[in-house]
Amino acid sequence: MAESPSSSAQQARRILADRLAGLCRDAGLTGREIAVRCGWHPSKSSRIMNARTPPSPDDIRAWCRACGAEDQAADLLASLRNAEGMWIGWRRMEQAGLKQAQEARLPLFERTRRFRSYSSWFVPGLIQTREYTEAVLRAVQRRRVEVDDVAEAVAARVERQRVLHEGGRRFAFLVEESVLRNAIGGTDVLVGQLSHLLTVGSLPNVSLGVVPMGADRCRMPA
């Protein structure tokens, strides 16, 4: 399962971006060639393929025409609507404060027996230290949430971590190496977080993997 509504939305956007990049490869085109065919600046196709800029419906239609894959447009448009709907739902939830957004996920976590989480930005919430969680949620609150209930949100997320030790659940976490170098909250917070990962990673029901920087992803198995 995904780690949170926000990470679920990000994952949905990433999957859509990967599918568009796959169409590009299948058509034997580069990102620059796609941009030329669509009449875009070359950087736009790169941003779309790397999930930095979500495509519009017209972008998807143009992309499919450029790749000779117009039969794929309807399914990709449905994926776009799903991803954007998830993102809008998460933002609406945040308007009431971060505590509610954290608590809303607890029933799903309690029902789930097998967790799988990938992160390219932060340590997944279930294996964060309290200090790391506070730094992450404080940054979120300052950027886009008017209500300051960070302390309550931190307590809710930390309390949710009890599922690591209950009910025979299994967990698989995969993070990019850059996550382990991102000193959110400062050096002391990062040191404490890395130490915590060593502890959590030793649990018999937890698998923790790291994608090394510079890995040749083109050679990685599908």
Q: Whole domain around residue 145: which residue ranges?
A: 97-214
Residue 210 lies in a domain: yes
What burial letters (b/e) apply to 182-217, b meaning 16+ CB within 10 Å? eebbeeebbeebeebbeebeeeeebebebbeeeeee
In tens, the pLDDT along 122-148 reads 899 999 999 999 999 998 888 777 788
For residue 88, pLDDT over 70 is answered with no
For residue 4, the model assigns a pLDDT of 47
Question: Residue 208, by phi and psi: left (phi above 0), alpha (psi -120 to 50) or beta?
Answer: beta
Domain boundary residue, one of 78, 94, 110: 94
* Domain shared by 116 and 210, yes or no: yes
* Domain shared by 148 and 69, yes or no: no
Q: Measured between alpha carbons, how far is residue 188 from residues 150, 170, 192 in Å?
A: 20, 29, 6
Residue 2 lies in a domain: no
In tens, the pLDDT along 43-69 reads 899 889 888 888 888 999 999 999 999
This prediction has a pTM of: 0.61
**Local structure of 209: helix, strand or coil:** strand
Q: How many residues does the chain have?
A: 222
Domain boundary residue, one of 68, 94, 120: 94
Residue 114 lies in a domain: yes
E strand or H helix at 100: helix 98-103
DSSP 39: T
* Domain shared by 25 and 63, yes or no: yes
Which strands, in side-by-side order, build the sheet including 170-176?
114-119, 170-176, 206-211
Q: Quick one: 181 exposed, middle or buried, by C-beta within 10 A (0-12, 13-18, 19+)?
A: exposed
The CATH number for 54's domain is 1.10.260.40
